[in-house]
Structure 1
Amino acid sequence: MSSASWDDLVAAALLGTERRTPPVAPRPGQDTPSALLDAAALSTVRRRAGLRPAPARPGPDRAPEDPRPALPMAAHSRLALLLADRSAPGRGGSRSAPDLAELLPQWLALANHHGYRVPDALLPALLDAARARTDLRAEALTLGGPRALWLALLNPDWKFALRGAAGRASASLPEPPEATAPPDEEQRLWEEGLFAERVSLLAAARHRDPAAGLALLGGTWSTERAEDRLMFLDSLRDDLSPSDEPFLEQALSDRSRNVRATAAELLSALPGSALAARMAERTRSCVSLTTDGPTAEGPTDDGATDGGRTTDGLVSDERTAAVRTPRIAVRPPDECDSGMQRDGIVPKPPSGRGERSWWLGQLVEATPLDRWTEWFGGRGPAVIVALPVADGWQADLHAALCRAAVRQRSAEWCRALLGTPAVAPVTAGDAAPAAWRDPAKLLAALPSRERAEWVAEFIASHGLSDAFRLLGVCAVPWAEPLGRAVVDALDIARDAGSYPWSFSGIMGLAERCLDPAQADRLEALTAIPDEREGAAPGAGGYWAEAFQRLVGTLRLREAMRAELDPT
C-alpha cells in the first residue's frame, strides 16, 4: 500500500504525470497514471476510515525573529478594529459611517512606510484578510515579514504567501521577502510549480537579474502552451531592456498570433531595436511634410476683382502664405506584406475600420517618436501635433501617436497630445475630431504635480462627469489644486440639487484620495441645505449624509496617520 500523502497525490494529478513523477510504484504491466489512480483510491478509503494512532510528528521549528519595531498601542488597536470589521461584512450601520474595509490598504501602506511589524496575535487575521483580497497581499506580507511566511508553511489556507519568492514552500524555514532560493530549487519550482507560482518566480527572477530570468524562460519556451507563453512574455514588460531583443526577435516567429503581437509591442518599446528601425522606415514612406498644393484656405478663383480693383496685392500675399502652410501628407500602405505581418502588424482590421488606416496606425505606434523631429526639420512634438494633416487623416495619425507616446512613456509627446484641459471632454464612443485622445493614459506619463494641475483645470472647466478615470491616475493624496477642484465641483453639484448617487464613484475616490486637511473645509457641507425649486426631492439630505461620511473618513485617515507617526 502506498504511503504517499494525499497532498502529494493531488499535486501529481493536477500537474500531470509527465511533469511530476507520482510518489507511487506501478505494478508490473501497469502504467503510471493507473498506479496514481489506484493509490488515490486507497488513500480515499483511509481518509474516510479515520486516522490510526501514530507517533507524534516533530513540532515546527521556532518562528524566526523579526527585528522591526512593534506597532504603537493606538495603531495596534486600530489594526485590530480594521481586521475585525473586514471579517463582518454586511453588518448594519449608518450610511454616513466610514467604510473601514476601504481604509485597510492605506493603513497597511502607512505602517510599512514607517517600518513596523505586525503584532503576532494579529498575524492570522491579517493573513485571512490577504487571502480574501488580492489587493492587500503585497502590503500584508511586507508587514507580516518572516513570521507570516512561517505561519503560511503550517496552514494550507495561506499558501498564497509562499508564491512570492521561489522555494519558500519547500524551505524548512521561511526566508525574508528579498531572499532567493538556491538555483536547483528555483529550477525545480519553475519546471513543476503551479502557473501562478511560475509567473511570480519569473517576475522575481527578472527583477533580481533580467538575464537570468530570461534564461529561465528560454529553457522551457518551446514546450509551453500558447496562452502561457503569452503571459510569460507579458511579464517581461516591467524590466524590459535592450538585452531582451534577441529573444523577442525570435518570438516574432512564434506560431501564436497573440505571442507575435506582444513580442512586437515589446520590441517597439525599445527605440533602438531593429524592429523599431524597420517600422520607422515603413512609416517614413507613408508620411511627409509638404507645402505643395492648395488648402481649404487657398484661392479658388485667381484674379478676382472687387469693385473693379484687383485683389492681387496684400490679399494675394496672404493667400499665398496660406497655400504654403506646412502640412503633413499621408499615404497609408497599399498592402500588408509578410514582413509587416512578421513584425506584428495584424492584417485584418476590426469591423468598420478600413484596412489601410488600420495598417498605418500600427506602423506609427511602433515607430520611435524621436524620428518625427528628425524627419520634420527639427520641429518639436507640440509643433508637429499642431500641423494640419491632409485629406482627413488627422484622427488616425494622432490616435497612433497617442498610443506611441503612452507605450514609449514620452512625457513631451503626451503633453503635446493632451493639449489644454479646456478642450471639451471626449469618450471612446465620440465621433468628434478629438476622440482619438485618451487623456487618462496620456496623463500617466507626466510628473505627478503636473498631472494633478491638468486634471484640476479639466474639472474646473467641465465638472466631474468625465473626470473619474482622470482622477484614478493622480497621485495620492491629491495635491491641493486638485483636491480643491474636486470639492468645488461636488459643492456645485450639491447646489444644483442633483442626487449624490451619480457621484458615488467620485465620492469613494475622494474618501481615499483627498488630503485629510480638506476635512475642515467640508464641514460646512454636512448640514442639510434648504431644498431649492426644481431640486430632486430629498437630495439635500442624501448630500448631507455623503459629506458627513466623507468628513468622517478624512478625520479617521488623519487619526490613523497620527497613530502610526506619534512624533
Structure 2
Amino acid sequence: MSTDAQTEPRPQTPAPAPAPEPEPHPQAPAAALPAQAAAAYTRTPWEELVTTALLGTDRRTPHLDAPGKEAPTALLDAAAVQTVRRRAGLRPAPAAAARPEPAPDDPRPVVPPAARRRLASLLADHPTAGGGRRGTAPDLMELLPQWLALANDRDFAAPPELLPALLNAARGRTDLRPQALAFAGPRARWLATLNPDWKFALRAAPHGATTTAAQGGQDETEVERRWQEGLFAERVALLATLRAHDPAAARALLAGTWTTERAEDRLMFLDSLRTGLGPADEPFLEQALGDRSRNVRATAAELLSALPTSALAARMADRASSCVALDRTASTPTLTVEAPHECDAGMERDGVTPKPPAGRGARSWWLGQLVEAAPLATWQSRLGGRAPADIVALPVTDDWRGELHAAWCRAAVRQRDATWSRALLGSPSAPDAAGPGAVSLAERAKLLAALHAPERAAWVAGFIDAHGLSEAFQLLGVCAVPWAPDLGRAVVDALNIARDAGSYPWSFSGVMGLAERCLDPAEAVRLDALTAVPDEREDAAPGAGGYWSEAFQRLVTTLRLRAVMREELTP
C-alpha cells in the first residue's frame, strides 16, 4: 500500500468531490497513519465519503477522527485509504457453498483475428468531447451497428475477452442491444447474472427459449417458467421473440394469463401480435375488443383492421362505403362524401375514438377512422372497379379530398398495400413535394416502406433529382443499406451541387452522416475528386470550400474503412 501511495502526487488544492476512484494521499499513506486514525478512515463507508464530497464539507462535516486536520484534508485522507482498500480487494473468506455454473458454450466460430482487432478499436472509440469536430476521422461508434450486423449475418461468435466492452457499449446505447446480444450469444446472460450493470441482457429472450412449443420437452417448460416468473420487461422480450418464431405458441402463452394481467401490461403484450399477424389471431383479438381498457380495445381494433378478411374489417367497410360515393351525374366522375353524424356504440366498440382532438371537427374525425380501418379493396368494388391510381386522381367535393386521402395513406401503411402506396406517393418529380395524398414527408416515408427495396430507392433518387436534399432526409432513412447505385449517385450529385453553391456543409450534416453509413463503399472512387479544396467563389461563404473538403475526406475514409471491415468479416 505505501509504495502505491508514494508514487502518486497529491492535488495542490482539495477538490470539491473525489473522483470515482480517488488516489491515495502521498503525505499520509495508510501505513504511516496512526492506527486509530487508519481504523476510522477504513470504517467510513465509501458512499458516505462521496456524499460528503458532493455536498461539501462546509454543509456536511465528515465523521472522521483526525485531530488537527481540516475537514477537506481529512476527507481526502479517508478517500485515499478507502481507495487502496477497495483496490486491494476482499479479505480471504470461506468459499461459497456452490461454485458458479461455468459459462455456456457458444458453438459458433469466433470472428477472425483481423475482425477481432477491428471490433476492439470500434469499442474503444469515444465521441469527441463537447461535440466538437472530428475532422476527417471516421465516427467509429456509428460503424459499430453495421459491423455487428455483418458479424451476425455470417454467424460469428464474439471474442470472449471483448464481451465486457461489448456489453458496456450496449448498456449505454439501446439501439445496439439487439445486435450486440445476438452477437454475444448465451454468454451475455451468464455475465449479466454476475454484474448488475448488464442486467438489461437478462430482459432479452433467453438463449434457446425461442424454440417452438412443438419441440416440447425442457424448452417448452423453460419458456413457460420464464413467462410465469420473469420480470415484465423479460416477459415482453420473450413474447416478442417467440412470436417471431411461432405466432400460435406466443398467442397461446398470452391467452393463458390474459385475464390476470394489468391493463398496461395487456396493452404491451397485445402490441407484440403485430409480428406474424394472421387470420388465426382474429378470435383472440375479437375477445380483446370487449376489454375494460380503452387503449387495449383500440389496439385490438387496429390489428383486426389490418386483417382484410376479419369481421371487424367487414363492418368498417360497410360504414366507410356508406360515407363515400361516386357521383356519375357530374360532367366528370366525382367523389362525394357524407361524414357520419354520430359515433354509436358499435363504432366505439370497433375502435373508433368518439372525442376528437382539439381543433378537429368530430365528423371528419370519425370519417378518417372509418376509412383508415376499411380494407382498401372496398373502394375498387365500390367505385366501379377503378385502379387505385385512378381513384386517387378523382376529384372530391366540398374540400374532403385532404381528409379522404390522408385516411387512405394511413390505411395503405397499416395494410402494407404496395399498389395503393404507389398511387398515393405519385410521381417523385411532382411539383408538390408532399404528394397527392400524403400529408407530410413522414407519411410519405411510411408509404415508401411498403414498396420493394429497388423501387423505393429509385423513387427517392427521382425525388432528390427533382427537389434536392433539403427535404429528402426522412425518405433516405427508409432505403435499404447499402444504397442502390442510382440512389447513391443522386445523393453524391446533390451534395456536389450544394458544395458548388458556396454554402457551408453543416446544413447537410445529417445526409452526410447517412451517406457514411449507407453509401456503397465502391462510391469512394467517385468521391476522391471532391476531397480537394475548391476555388472559392466571390459570393461563397468564407472557408466553405475547406469545410466541404474535410467532410468529403471523412466520407471517403469511412467508405474505405467499411470496405475493409467487410473483407475482414468474410470467411
Please indicate the TM-score interval, normalised by the length of the shorter structure: 0.7 to 0.9
Alignment check: 8 A CA contact 2:402 2:437 kept: yes
How far apart in 2 are the matches of 1:148 and 1:52? 28
Q: Is the CA contact 1:426–1:435 (under 8 Å) kept in the aligned structure 2?
A: no
What is the CA–CA distance in structure 1 between the aligned matches of 2:210 and 2:312, rounded to whole Å?
37
Q: In structure 2, which of residues 223, 229, 236 is the aligned counterpart of residue 192 of structure 1?
A: 229
Q: Does residue 126 of structure 2 align to residue 76 of structure 1?
A: no
Partner of 1:43: none
Match in the other structure for 1:305: none
**Aligned pair partner of 1:520 in 525, 529, 533:** 525
| Closer, same or farther: CA 406–471 of 1 in aligned 2, 3 Å | same
Count of residue pairs the alignment pairs up: 477
Q: Could you tell me how far apart the structure 2 residues matched to 1:468 and 1:253 are?
A: 42
Q: Deviations over 1:228-270 (max 9, x none)?
A: 2221111111121112112211222222222211111101000
CA distance in 1, matches of 2:327, 2:212: 59
Where do 1:107-506 residues align within 5 Å?
A: 107-165=147-205, 168=206, 175=208, 182-293=219-330, 323=331, 325-424=332-431, 426=433, 435=439, 438-506=443-511
Query: How far apart, in 2, do the equivalents of 1:73 and 1:143 lie?
Result: 16
Q: After superposing the two structures, state which structure 1 stretch, 459-468 or 145-154, moved more.
A: 145-154
Most deviating of 533-542 and 400-409:
533-542
What is residue 549 of structure 2 aligned with on the other side?
544
Name the stretch that deviates more: 329-338 or 464-473. Answer: 329-338
Aligned mates of 2:91, 2:253 — CA distance in 1 = 42
8 Å contact 2:405–2:438 — kept in the other structure? Answer: no
**1:51–1:206 distance in 2 versus 1, CA, 3 Å:** farther
Deviation at 1:107, TM superposition (A): 0.8
Residue in structure 1 matched with residue 104 of structure 2 by the alignment: 64
Between the aligned partners of 1:67 and 1:434, the Cα distance in structure 2 is 49
- Mapped to 1, the partners of 2:127 and 2:211 lie a distance apart of 30
Supply the AA of the counterpart residue of 2:138. Answer: P
Q: Secondary structure at the match of 1:289?
A: strand
**Alpha-carbon contact 1:146-1:177 (below 8 Å) kept:** no
Distance of 2:559 and 2:156 partners within structure 1: 23
CA distance in 1, matches of 2:230, 2:187: 23
User: Does the Cα contact within 8 Å between 2:212 and 2:242 map onto a contact in 1?
Assistant: no
Asked if 1 retains the 8 angstrom alpha-carbon contact of 2:460 and 2:476, the reply is yes
Q: Is the 8 A contact 1:267 1:273 kept in 2?
A: yes
Higher relative contact order (CA 8 A, sep 6+): 1
Which of 142, 163, 169 in structure 2 is aligned with 1:102? 142
Alpha carbons 2:340, 2:363 under 8 Å: kept: yes
Q: 1:88 to 1:290 in 2, by over 3 A?
A: closer
Structure 1 residues 177 and 107: alpha-carbon distance in aligned structure 2, compared to 1, 3 A threshold = farther
Matching of residue 529 in structure 1 with residue 534 in structure 2: yes
Q: Distance in 2 between matches of 1:67 and 1:472?
A: 35
Report the AA paired with residue 175 of structure 2.
Answer: D
Tell me by how many angstroms 1:125 deviates. Answer: 1.6
SS in 2 for 1:435: coil
What letter corresponds to residue 409 of structure 1 in structure 2? R
Report the more deviating stretch, 263-272 or 351-360. 351-360
Q: Distance in 1 between matches of 2:308 and 2:118?
A: 49
> Helix, strand or coil: the match of 2:335?
strand
The SS at the match of 1:329 is strand
Q: Are residues 73 and 65 of structure 1, via their aligned partners in 2, closer, same or farther at CA, if it must alter by over 3 Å?
A: same
Tell me, yes or no, if the aligned pair for 1:385 and 1:416 is still in contact at 8 Å.
Answer: yes
For the residues of structure 1 that align with 2:455 and 2:494, how far apart are their CA atoms? 20
Q: Secondary structure at the match of 1:424?
A: coil
Distance 1:405 1:555, change over 3 A: same
Contact 1:381-1:416 within 8 A present in 2 as well? yes
Q: Distance in 2 between matches of 1:187 and 1:62?
A: 24
Q: Deviations over 1:254-300 (max 9, x none)?
A: 2222221111110100001110000000111111112214xxxxxxx
Give the distance between the partners of 1:93 and 1:543, measured in 2 at CA.
13
Further displaced range: 436-445 or 53-62: 53-62
Structure 1 residue 448: Cα displacement: 0.2
TM-score normalised according to structure 1 size: 0.79
CA deviation after TM superposition for structure 1 residue 221, in Å: 2.4
Q: Tell me which of 561, 564, 567 is aligned to 1:559.
A: 564
Q: Which runs of 5+ in 2 are unaligned?
A: 1-89
Q: Report the Cα offset of residue 123 of structure 1.
A: 1.8
- Structure 1 unaligned segments of length 5 or more: list them: 1-49, 169-173, 294-322
- Amino acid aligned to 2:141: A
Q: 1:273 to 1:94 in 2, by over 3 A?
A: closer
Matched residue SS, 1:328: strand
Partner Cα distance (2:93, 2:134) in 1: 54
Question: 1:66 and 1:177, CA in 2 relative to 1: closer, same or farther beyond 3 A?
Answer: farther
If the length of structure 2 is used for normalisation, what is the TM-score?
Answer: 0.79
SS in 1 for 2:155: coil
Q: CA RMSD in A?
A: 2.5
Q: Give the AA of the match of 1:239.
A: G
Distance 1:222 1:89, change over 3 A: farther
Judging changes above 3 Å, is the alpha-carbon distance between structure 1 residues 565 and 211 closer, same or farther for their aligned structure 2 residues? closer
Q: Deviations over 1:139-190 (max 9, x none)?
A: 222222233333333333323223322xx4xxxxx65875886444433432
Residues 399 and 436, structure 1, Cα contact 8 Å, conserved in 2: no
Aligned residue for 2:336, secondary structure, equals strand
Q: Compared with structure 1, are the counterparts of its residues 458 and 92 closer, same or farther at alpha carbon in structure 2 (3 Å cutoff)?
A: closer
1:470 & 1:453 partners in 2: Cα distance? 12
Q: Deviations over 1:319-362 (max 9, x none)?
A: xxxx1x21211111111111111111111212222111111111
Question: SS in structure 2 opposite 1:236?
Answer: helix
* Alpha-carbon shift at residue 219 of structure 1 (Å): 2.9
Counterpart AA for 1:232: F
> Partner letter of residue 456 of structure 2?
R
Instruction: Tell whether the 8 Å contact from 2:438 to 2:444 is kept in structure 1 after alignment.
Output: no
SS in 2 for 1:82: helix
User: Could you tell me how far 1:56 is from its partner in structure 2?
Assistant: 3.4
Single out whichever of 450-459 and 124-133 deviates more from structure 2: 124-133
